[in-house]
Amino acid sequence: MPGGSGETVACDPADLPERLRLGTRELHVATERTGAMAALLAGRLPQPGYCALLRNLHALYAALELALDARRLDAAIAPLQAADLQRSAALAADLYTLHGPDWAAALPLLPSAAAYVVRLQTLSDAASPALVAHAYVRYLGDLHGGQVLQRLVRRHYALPGDAGTRFYDFGPEPEVLALRQRLRAALSALPLNKAEQDSVVAEARWAFQQHQRLFEELAS
């Protein structure tokens, strides 16, 4: 944000992860109680519905990871591009296991997911700092809830070993904790002024709202 001297006045970067947490807390809770996600957490989502969920999440991750890769020369973004965070390949492997090789053609991309992909492409084209909100919403959520969901999915669909649950596998618990810390540190270190931080929080709120639309569409 411009100051009286014409220089950029930076907001304390350590505020960003906490601002994101507080700014999206109620939406996060509401999203978990919506449509297909609520059914999954309750153990009531049939396997075809679960495959449809993964197919649409794959489109989101593929677009997000492509957008982050477009910023690969930006040192501040680099920690958000770590190979051990990326999920699109794991989702593709799970879909191959659970649905078969034709999953991309056979399972529909829903309107809310298609709109999400366009949003990510637009942010990428504009080199918008708001793009990092989507790394926060997806990756940090996966790192916090992935192990619980992996056990739930494995039990509900009677899956052996890690077959069909690679999406949730970030390694042993110490590695998961280290990834969480690295992701939060990367967000804290982003050189964003207050107006840019505001845009990131607003974008994270949009992301949760769009996930709600997706989960509702998947349940209809």
Residue 73 lies inside a defined structural domain of this protein: yes
pLDDT of 15: 86
pLDDT of 92: 98
In angstroms, the CA 186 to CA 79 distance is 6
Residue 3 lies inside a defined structural domain of this protein: no
Q: Which CATH number goes with the domain that contains 167? A: 1.20.910.10
Q: Is the pLDDT of residue 1 over 50?
A: no
pLDDT of 147: 83
pLDDT of 28: 94
Which of 196, 163, 140 shows the shortest CA–CA distance to 8? 196
pTM equals 0.91
Residue 157 lies inside a defined structural domain of this protein: yes
Q: Is the pLDDT of residue 8 over 60?
A: no
**Strand, coil or helix: what is 34?**
coil
pLDDT tens for each residue of 169-217: 999 999 999 999 999 999 999 999 999 999 999 999 999 999 999 999 9
Residue 213 lies inside a defined structural domain of this protein: yes
**b (16+ CB within 10 A) / e for 66-87:** ebbeebeeeebbebbbeeebbb
Asked if residues 13 and 192 have their Cβ atoms less than 8 Å apart, the reply is: yes
Average pLDDT rounded to a whole number, residues 141-158: 93
What is the total count of domains within the chain?
1
pLDDT tens for each residue of 56-96: 999 999 999 999 999 876 888 888 988 999 999 999 999 99
In angstroms, the CA 132 to CA 199 distance is 10
Residue 51 lies inside a defined structural domain of this protein: no
Residue 131 lies inside a defined structural domain of this protein: yes
Q: Is the pLDDT of residue 11 over 80?
A: no
- Mean pLDDT, the chain, rounded, equals 91
pLDDT of 215: 98
Residue 153 lies inside a defined structural domain of this protein: yes
pLDDT of 119: 98
pLDDT of 4: 38
Q: Is the pLDDT of residue 2 over 80?
A: no
Residues above pLDDT 90, as percent of the chain: 84
pLDDT of 146: 85
pLDDT of 145: 87
Question: Which residue range(s) make up the domain with 179?
Answer: 19-25+33-38+56-219
The region that residue 35 occupies, defined by phi over 0 for left and psi between -120 and 50 for alpha, beta otherwise, is left
In angstroms, the CA 86 to CA 26 distance is 26
